Each structure stands twice: as structure tokens, then as C-alpha cells.
Amino acid sequence: MLKIFGAPSRYLQGPGAIERLGACAALFGDRAALVIDAYVLELLGARLDAICEAQGVRLHTFPVEGDITPDSVARLCAQAMPTRPPLVIAAGGGKALDAGKALAKAAHCHLVTVPTVASNDAPTSKNYVLYDAGHRLLAVEHMLFNPTMVLVDTALVASAPAAFFRAGLGDAISKKFEAEQCARHGGLNMYEGHATLTAQSIADACYRTLLADGEAALAAAGTGKPTPAFERAVEAMILMSGLGFESGGLSIAHALTRGLPHLPGLASAPHGLQVAVGLLVQLHLEQRSDGALDALHAWYGKVGLPSTLRELGATNVDAAQARQAAALTLKARHAANFDRTLTEAALADALLHYVG
């Protein structure tokens, strides 16, 4: 049984961390490709240019918006590859980071991620997601290695709307339970290896931190003023969650993101909120008697996470639609990381239990 653990080479977090970007970029050369969310470019573009220019690094900027599709990746690569970047800097939300990962993979170069929201754990991982024209998940691709550096400026993250932070809570809270299922089943993590004890310990710490600090941290979201609780929660949502899922493995909660968008009303539901409901479905299927479901329902109420498909935005879900969502879910590799082999009927029944 070969165990594999992966991680970024360096992680920096705190108010003003963005000011270190130029010094970090200069380690790799005198130029870099900046892949940045178009909205974030308006807010931070000039500042990022100045920070990097002060260290002798010229930025070639490539704004992105909308879903990351195979066509959009091809266009980005066609625009950026002539600059022969030794480094890609990806700044913004999850989609901008994914676009930066796709370019870094194509260019065979280093990647620095600069998240401006904490809506998911993409900043630390080598994975990136491609969508089709209908906003449906098409494929999960992988860089050869994790980002070289991750810079998390918590003053920027605390300036983002609370809705992004809430989605990040939903994405991160599942990792403990998914890693447990993966380990029990003997499933493989994102490195095609078995999980280490370290990965499970990190996923457990993520869960404990969010239960303790998530509610207080959410109160600081959108204020631009990170608190100690906010700092701890951000570390859990980005670093612990990222290491926990990638090296620990995933299960039903994330597999459901393949099926849930096909239910009426959920095509554009935020990933983290889908995972939050998916976790409840997973624990229901586990038939747990340890109080975990009750604890999560109570915590969801405090932080405003959806507890039913209706609260997630679903409308008029019937048995046939639940069966279709179940069938798509079970095609995901993660669905095999479970105590028993699930049937479409069993998973569909669990989804109908959470219609609300």
C-alpha cells in the first residue's frame, strides 16, 4: 500500500500578504503571466503591477471571466504562450485560479496562486475543473505538481462578500468525513496513492476549527477586517481543506456535484453549497449514530448553509430526476469511496429525503 502526500512548496497568509508577491515572483525571473479575474483586475491590477515592477518583474496580464471551458483554455494559451512565461500568477476566485493552473500546466512552469475569496480550496491544489457551455462539470484535470506558492491576503479575502465565505465553509466542512470514507474503503487520493495519517489529521483539524470558529469568522466576512477567528477559519478553508481533500481523498459529498447541477434550479448553485447538502446526504447514507448529523444541522443553521435541496435552490424534484442525478453521481470516481456499493435507487432515495 503506497501512501502519497502532496502540498504546495510554500504557503503565506495574513493581512498584506499580497505585498510579498513581487519578491516571490522575482525568484523565477523578470516576467510573469498574470491570469486574473476581470473584475479583480479593475480593483487590483495597477497595484499588482506596481508590486511586481518594484522587484524587477514585468507582468503580462490576461483577464478571464465566465466558466473555464476547453475553448477558453485554448484561447488563453494561444494568447499567453508567446510570452514564454517562467511563472504564472493566478489571482481571483476559483475559476481564475483554475485558468492559471491550465496555463501553468501547458507552459510547464511554476504557479503562484493569489485567492481573493475563500469560496473553495482551489488555491493549494493541483486540480482544476473544466465546464461545458451549460455550466455543467465536464472534467477534472491535474497539473503535475501543486502550486509552488500560495499567497492569501486575509485583508482582501475579508473584503469579499460573505456569500463567498459561506460557500467556502460548505466546501471545507466535508473533508473530514470524505477522507474517513476513502481510508475505510482503501480508496485512492488525488495522487493515485493511499492517504497518510497526516492527511486525515489535517482533515480532522479542519472540521474542528470550522465548528469552533466558522460562525465568528463569517461575521467578519465582508468587513475587510480579518479577526483571529477569521484567520483560523481561512487557514482551515484553504490550507487544511486543500491538503485534506487532495491527500486524504473524497467521497459521496463531492461526487454529488456531478449529479446535483442536473436537478431543476441547481445548474448554477455554488459548488460549496452543493457540497454542504451532499455531506448531509452522505452521512444519511452512512446511517451514523454518533450525533455528527445533528451537530452539522445545528452548525448549518448558525452559518446559513442549506440543509435541503429546496434551500439550495431546487424546484419540483421528482423521483425520476433524483434517479438521473444519482446515476450521474455514481459515475464519479469518488463515489466508489464508500462503505458499500451504492445503487442508483439507494442514492436517489437519499436525495429525495433531503428535498425539503
> What are the binding residues for glycerol?
121, 171, 254, 271
Strand partners, 354: none
| DSSP per position, 121-144 | SGGG-SEEEEE-TTS-EEEEEE-S
CA gyration radius, the chain: 20
Instruction: Give CA–CA dist 53/23, Å, rounded.
Output: 10
Instruction: Give CA–CA dist 327/348, Å, rounded.
Output: 9
Take residue 199 and report the three cell numbers written for it.
492527511
Any idea of the CA torsion for 335, 338, 343, 348, to the nearest 10 degrees?
A: -70
Distance of CA 28 to the CA centre of its chain: 26
Instruction: Give CA–CA dist 33/64, Å, rounded.
Output: 13
Cβ atoms of residues 168 and 245 within 8 Å: no
Cβ atoms of residues 88 and 35 within 8 Å: yes
Cβ atoms of residues 159 and 222 within 8 Å: yes
The neighbour count for residue 159, using CB atoms within 10 Å, is 17
The neighbour count for residue 341, using CB atoms within 10 Å, is 9
Residues comprising the binding site?
A: 37, 94-98, 116-119, 121, 125, 131, 171, 254, 271
| DSSP per position, 227-294 | -HHHHHHHIIIIIIHHHHHHHH---HHHHGGGTGGGSTT-TT--HHHHHHHHHHHHHHHHT--SSHHH
Residues comprising the binding site for NAD(+)?
A: 37, 94-98, 116-119, 125, 131
Instruction: Give CA–CA dist 315/185, Å, rounded.
Output: 34
Instruction: Give CA–CA dist 80/97, Å, rounded.
Output: 15
- Residue linked to cell 492559471: 100
Helix (H, G, I), strand (E, B) or coil at 314: coil
